Structures are given as structure tokens and as C-alpha cells.
A and B are shown apart, each in its own frame.
Chain A
Amino acid sequence: MRDVAVVAFAQTVHTGHDTGLAEPELLLPVIDEVKRATGLKRFGFTVSGSCDYLAGAPFSFVSALDAVGAWPPISESHVEMDGAFALYEAWVRLQHGDIDTALVYGFGKSSMSDIREIMTLQLDPYYLAPLGLDQVSYAALQAAAVNADRAALDEIVRRSRADGRANRYALDLPDPPTGKNTGEEFEVEPLRPYDVAPVTDGAAAVVLAAGDRARELAGRPAWITGIAHRAEPHYLGMRDLSRSVSAAEAGRAAGVDKGRVDVAELHTQFSHEEPILREALGLSGDVTVNPSGGPLAANPVMATGLIRVGEAARRILDGSAGRTVAHATSGPCLQQNLVAVLEGAVLETSA
């Protein structure tokens, strides 16, 4: 395959409430930032990820095009998925060999609606959605299936929120209550309110470049040495919810196990998803997970997965890590999973 790298990444300072900015207004600064970082004004391909249901109107990606400056017209596409899947489409497009750069972005404002109820509409409309199962309830089924240690989940939330407070782009969320203070307050048993990723508005953009173009645009490109995604059956009863077979398969296809992992950025919208994904990807206890704070500290839906790739790449770009893993998910209870491996030094000798 052709060598493709992340050469720039930008994200909004995410908020836990609606700041009055429309989606194109959220996007414009981050797209400007990656244009400045690379010096590029035009890209060989542009692709984005978003979801109409967040805005409650069709074609939410149409006005987002205003932030890109699509004039003269550009070669452009859109996935109704997280921006990480748009990044996959761009990586594939760069394999053709006729273009060298791609702009990828994702955006979402979950403050405008009730994401927990909206996600019910993602279920089979005949047999599952009419049951009214909401996002936190089906996540709780998975949490019960994995039966994770409560103290371990509390520690994941504490660590994520602390890391989030140190990350200027993530939300400032307090430490979760400890000891007796947790009381009996379940959101949906066994999940507590703080096990659930917060409502967040935000956007992110990534620039991909191939081969020598990547070396020109970044001092230390974050080479994508593997990227793959896999889906599982939709019906929760057809899966062993305590494991993520599709994340494991995607991880193997991306080559996660072919070397040491310094940092993993995982799309964990609930605390119990971290142990499931750690096991699926074979990440040992000493792998640093979500040093950005992860989705438990900022979850701008439809950009959250792309931000995982961006955060994993950033640590290569700034030289603080040598080999990182990014993960993004889609569908109820980790139905579909994307895994990317990013490396700094490895590919510097290949042309």
C-alpha cells in the first residue's frame, strides 16, 4: 500500500453546552488551523462525517461545506458516520496514487437534542426501536455482561476526567464521587451517571498526505501503518456483549500486535468499554489509554472517533510517542469498530 500519514490535526475547544455557534461556525476555525499548519489551501480530496439526526434536519453536511471554501468546486464526499470512517475513505482514495492530500473533518452538537433518545432510532425499527431501549440502557446491558469491577470503572472515570482537565480542548469535569457518596444512584444499573460520556459540542479536522508530500508538510508525519474496520451483527442477542470480536479483528488487520504500543486513544463512550477494548486489542496494563481524557472527558458525537485518530497522531507528530493506536466505533454496543496504527520512525526509510 501507499504510505499515507496524518500531517495536521485541529479540534475545537469543546463545550458541554450550546454556545450559539452553528456547525459551519464550529468548523471554520479548525479547518483554517489545518490549512495554516500545512500551508495547503486546496486538497486532492475532501470527506466528512456527520449525522442529520443531531440537527434534526436533512443535509446538515451541506452548510458545513461553506467552512471548507469549496470554490472552485472540489472533489468531495460525505459519510453518515463518525469522521474516523471519513478518514478511512480518504486513506483509500489516497491509495489510487493520483492525488497526494486529503482533508477530513467531523462535527456534531449533541447539546441540541437528547442523544440518548435519538440513538434509539439507530436500532432495528421493527423489533428493537419500538421497545424504547435507549443508548444508556443498551450500554448497561453490555456493562452487565462484562461485569467489570466497580473500583476499576471508577478509576477509569477519575483518570479520564483528570486527563481531560489537563487538556485544554476537553471539558472540565470534577472527579467522580467516591466512597459512600456514590450512594445508590445508578443512571441505568450498573452504570453510574459519570460512566456515561458527557454531552459535548465540537468539531475536528485532519489532513492526510501521501509519501514525499507528507514529509514536506510535517517534520515527523504520523504514518498510518495499518487501518481496518469490521462490523458485527446488529442484534444484541446475537453477540457476546462481554467481548468485541469486531474490534479484535480490526486490530489484527491493522497490525496492532506487530509492535509495542505507547499510547492508545479509544472511542469509549462508557467506562466499561475500556476493559472490553483493551482486551480486544491486546493492550497490556502498561499501555497509556486516552491520555487526552478520551470521550469520557469530551464527546462531540461524529467527531469523537476522528479526534482519537488526531490525538494518537499528535503524539507522533510532536515526538512524544513512537507507535500509537486509534480506535473509533459506530452502532449500538460497539457494533462496528475501526482501528488504526500510527508510527513515526518506522517508515522513514521507505520511499
Chain B
Amino acid sequence: MGNRCAVIGVGQTRYQTRRRDVSLAGLVREAALRALEDAGLTFADIDAVVIGKAPDLFEGVMMPEAYLADALGAAGKPVMRVHTAGSVGGSTALVGASLVQGGVHGRVLVVAFEKQSESNATWALTTHLPFNASLVVGAGGYFAPHIREYMRRSGAPDHVGTLVAVKDRRNALKNPYAHLRIPGINREMVESTPMLWEPIRYLETCPSSDGACAIVLAAEDKVTGTPAWIHGTAMRSEPIMVAGRDVVSPRAGRDCAADVYRQAGVTDPRREIDVAEVYVPFSWYEPMWLENLGFAAEGEGWKLTEAGSTALDGDTPWNASGGVLSSNPIGASGLIRFAEAALQVRGMAGEHQVEGARLALGHAYGGGAQFFAMWIVGSSKP
């Protein structure tokens, strides 16, 4: 894992459908300045900048890190641009951490963003390579059959997805940065919304958001303010199609979790991890990832959700921030998970703080549930 590394600053923009008041550069700079302010630093204190976002087609700017270098104070410094599909926000944090863990830099600024209002992500995700048939419309069209298969295997009752949708939006009401803040959100409200991709209803999906998230990472001798120490980092990828691949509980996810738990010395994630920020863009992915990440035995994940274990006051809170279901600037969504995990162990999560959180998991996935990035952060040094 290399040298010790800590998150010392977090900055987020208020996620919303359209940020017409700022350019792409203005958006990322807003998050970056807030992260620097949190760390008590300025751009001059930063050695390198790592930028992440999902496909360039989402804004129509090719390799935008070139254009964004100025707004992020990166002139004269190394800039990296990460793109690993939906997991990119998490991967970007890991590439930034790697620069510190590898002893290359003392302080690194990590920024991820998406300005979905610049284009239509569902369209951008529906185009396909020449000579390949496009089988789906958007991400929901791809993941709905996987969810249906999970329901068949586990025998989970139909309303479990609704419970997740309600729980995460209730948490979002406690997060000032969340996009979807729906007063009085309840099951009836979710169940009354149209079916988009059976079994996924409108309110069981993530919104399209504009937003950016930034974190400042530091080596042990460069820590300022309140650190969240990195206890483990891992990435795993598998092909989108390979004989024997289980799309419901992908092996890459299980392997990635096993790797990050080993580094952090976690043997029983449900008991030892105080709060988890997990990439749940469609409600049913909570029970699916509860199993994939070893918080529940196979076929048992939905029971934790149904029992309220994953609620803010449950025994294993998931997505206290409201999660991807409440805010989804795609390229930033993974980094928001990683940053929210850090906020929790720094005790700085505000109204959605999980009391006494000392160890937190940040998780992101992407592609056809084939790319995974995870980290575990803690309030004490590893």
C-alpha cells in the first residue's frame, strides 16, 4: 500500500439539474476551492492534480483536462485524467492516493465532475461502436434484467427497491449538497411513479445532476486539519462478457472487497465498518451490493434493507448522504462516495453524521458492473 495517505479536505458543489450560472471550469473550481479551504491550503500548496469524469461525450469536450488545467491551478504541475466508466470518481481518488502512497508527491488535488445538463447522458450511453448492435437504452435498460435476476434468485419481495428509494431520499433531506430533496417522501410516492425499466420505477433511479466533488490528499508529514486516513485501496476489472461471469454478483466486486478488507484488517464488514457509501444508482443495487460486499450472505441482502439495518439509525448505515439515488453527477458520483466516507470518519458529515464513525467504506462501480474501485478510511492511522 506504500506510504500513509490521508484525506485532509473535501469540497462539493450543491448538486442540481442545471448549473447555468457556471462554466465547466467554474464548476470544478468551486469544488476545488472548497476542498482547499477545508484543508486550510491554497493551489500553491498542491503538487499535482488528478481529474476524473465519465465519457467525454457527456459534455462534448474531448479530454477536458487540457482546458480545465488553468481553473484548477494546474499550470506548471502534472495533470492526470482518469476515465474508468461509472467507477471513475473512485478510481480518480485511488490514482491521486497512489501518487502520495508511491512517495511521488506530498499533496494532491483530486477533482471529479459531470455537467449532465450540457448533453443527454442516456443518448451518450446508447451510441455504440460501429458493427456492434446496441442492445439497450441507457444504463437502466442494461441493469434492469440483472435486478430481475437478483429478485428471482433471492426471492426478495417487490417492495424492497421502494424501501431503498425512500431511505436514501430521507437521508438526502439531511444533506445540504443533495440534489433530490423530496419532503415527505414515502412508499406510496415512489410506487405512484412510472415504470421506466421494469422493475425500476422513476423514483428508484438516480437523477441527472450537474456537480463536482474535490478532495485534497496528503502524505503523513503534510497533513493539515482533520485527516481521514486511508486504510486500504483496491481496483478490479473484468470483461463485460466472459463465460461464467455472474452479472448479479460480479467476481470483480467480491475480489475488490476482499482486497480492501485484507489491507484494512476487516474480517466482518457489517460489524467493523461503521458507515458505507456505496454506489447505488438503482434502488435494488443496495441489497445486491450488500451481498457482493459481504455485509450479508447470498440471498440475504434484502432482509437487511427490509429490517432497516441500512438506515441512518440502523446497525450498518449505507449511504447516509442520500447516495447516488439522490445526487448523480456521474463522473463525480464515485468520488462523492469516497469523500462522504472521509467526512464521516472526520466527524464532519453534519446532520447525516453517523455517531462515532471510525471506519468507513467508499465504493464505486461502472461499465456493465465490471469496474470496481473501493477504499476504506479511518479516523486513526493505519
Contacts and interface: CB of A to CB of B under 8 A. Distances in A.
B355 interface: no
A85 to B, nearest CB: 6
A11 interface: no
A75 interface: yes
A76 B62 contact: no
Given A59-B85, A92-B99, A97-B2, A335 B78 contact: no
Interface residues of B, number: 69
Given A96-B102, A122-B67, A233-B70, A71 B242 contact: yes
A63 B82 contact: no
B265 to A, nearest CB: 15
B136 interface: no
Interface in A2-25: 22
A229 interface: yes
A75 B62 contact: no
Contact of A76 (B59, B76, B235): B235
Contacts of A118: 62
Given A57-B129, A79-B81, A96-B2, A122 B63 contact: yes
Interface stretch (A48-56, A190-198, A201-209): A48-56
A80 B98 contact: no
Contact of A233 (B69, B85, B370): B69
Contacts of B240: 62-63, 65
Contact of B63 (A1, A233, A330): A330
B66 A74 contact: no
Nearest to A97: B2
Contacts, number: 193
B191 interface: no
B76 A81 contact: no
Nearest to B251: A73
Contact of B61 (A96, A125, A238): A125
Contact of A122 (B23, B61, B82): B61
Contacts of A73: 236-238, 250-252, 255-256
A150 to B, nearest CB: 30
Contacts of A186: none
A80 B101 CA distance: 22
Given A62-B85, A231-B78, A233-B69, A70 B104 contact: no
A234 B71 CA distance: 10
Interface stretch (B11-19, B120-128, B304-312, B340-348): B120-128
A55 B129 contact: yes
Interface in B323-380: 367-368, 370-371
Nearest to A245: B76
A332 interface: yes
Interface in B222-275: 234-242, 245, 250-252, 255-256, 259
B85 A125 contact: no
A88 B79 CA distance: 11
Contacts of B67: 122-125, 128, 234
Interface residues of A, number: 66
Given A70-B237, A73-B236, A75-B234, A126 B23 contact: yes
A246 interface: yes
Nearest to A335: B66
A112 B239 CA distance: 24
Contacts of B84: 77-78
A123 B102 CA distance: 32
A117 B381 CA distance: 50
A137 interface: no
Interface centre among B2, B129, B238 (most CB of A within 10 A): B129
A124 B23 CA distance: 10
A132 interface: no
A74 B236 contact: yes
Contact of A75 (B25, B125, B235): B235
Nearest to B100: A92
Contact of B255 (A57, A60, A72): A72
B56 interface: yes
Interface centre among B62, B102, B238, B242 (most CB of A within 10 A): B62
Contacts of A81: 63, 65, 80-81
A95 B219 CA distance: 15
B190 interface: no
B322 to A, nearest CB: 26
B60 interface: yes
B104 A95 contact: yes
A252 interface: no
Interface in A28-69: 46, 51-53, 55-63, 65-66
B182 interface: no
Nearest to B54: A58
B55 interface: yes
Given A75-B234, A122-B66, A52 B57 contact: yes
A124 to B, nearest CB: 5
Contacts of B371: 76
B95 interface: yes
Given A22-B131, A93-B98, A1 B103 contact: yes
Contacts of B125: 58
Contacts of B104: 1, 92, 95
A119 interface: yes
A59 B56 CA distance: 10
Interface in B1-39: 1-2, 23-25
A228 interface: yes
Nearest to A336: B79
Interface string A105-129: 0000000100000110111111011
12 contacts: A52-B56, A58-B55, A65-B238, A65-B240, A70-B239, A71-B245, A72-B255, A96-B2, A119-B62, A126-B23, A229-B79, A230-B77
Given A96-B101, A230-B76, 10 more contacts: A52-B83, A62-B367, A63-B129, A63-B240, A71-B239, A71-B245, A77-B235, A112-B130, A231-B77, A232-B75
